[in-house]
């Protein structure tokens, strides 16, 4: 994969190895067998083998391809890592994530028709979970749904419960 590594600015083992070629949303993009793949994912695969899940950045630098800065993790792992590092933002000086609805204080819970509704995005679709009398009930159902489908993170995982 000489052609791939030529597009990476390889530096010290603790430094970020930045992708020098084309990018999509800040992530390196590499054409392999006619298909565009994420450069950091390919870097991980070349060193460690195919990942089971997502390839996440420990360094939080999207263009980084240093295998030592990458880890195999779920979407939930990636979101928890981002939250733990304070990259998701906060509002009102609290520890609540910006993922939370400002009206309810919970992720995936909104006020609609005078009730609390739980919804989640799954495969590009807005999935209705249900209407509830209390925001906490809706948050519980949201959490159960995302944990069952392994599409996290839940309100518990990001510190909202």
- Spatial separation of the C-alpha atoms in residues 12 and 36, rounded to whole Å: 27
pLDDT in tens, 17-74: 999 999 988 889 999 999 999 999 999 999 999 999 999 998 888 899 999 999 999 8
Report pLDDT digits (tens) over 45-59. Answer: 999 999 999 999 988
3-class state of residue 146 by DSSP: helix
- At residue 80, the pLDDT reads 78
Q: What's the domain range around 55?
A: 2-73
C-alpha–C-alpha distance, residues 159 and 152, integer Å: 13
Does some domain include residue 116? yes
Q: Mean pLDDT throughout 101-121?
A: 80
Q: Can you give the pLDDT at residue 97?
A: 42
Q: 81 lies in a domain?
A: no
Rounded to whole angstroms, the Cα distance separating 36 from 5 reads 16
Q: Which of 49, 73, 97 is the last residue of a domain?
A: 73
Is residue 98 over pLDDT 60? Answer: no
CB 72 within 8 A of CB 51: yes
CATH of the domain at 133: 3.30.730.10
Confidence (pLDDT) at 153 = 77
């Amino acid at each position: 994969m000489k052609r791939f590594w030529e597009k990476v600015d390889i530096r010290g083992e603790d430094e970020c190895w930045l992708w020098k070629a084309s990018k999509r949303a800040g992530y390196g993009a590499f054409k392999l067998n006619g298909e565009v793949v994420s450069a950091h994912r390919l870097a991980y695969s070349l060193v460690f083998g195919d990942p089971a899940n997502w390839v996440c950045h420990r360094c939080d630098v999207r263009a980084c391809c240093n295998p030592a800065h990458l880890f195999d993790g779920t979407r939930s792992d990636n979101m928890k890592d981002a939250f733990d590092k304070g990259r998701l933002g906060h509002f009102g000086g609290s520890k609540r994530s910006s993922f939370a609805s400002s009206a309810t204080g919970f992720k995936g819970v909104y006020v609609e028709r005078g009730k609390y509704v739980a919804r989640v995005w799954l495969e590009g679709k807005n999935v209705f979970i249900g209407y509830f009398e209390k925001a906490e009930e809706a948050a519980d159902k949201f959490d159960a749904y995302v944990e069952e489908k392994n599409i996290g993170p839940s309100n518990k995982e990001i510190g909202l419960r």
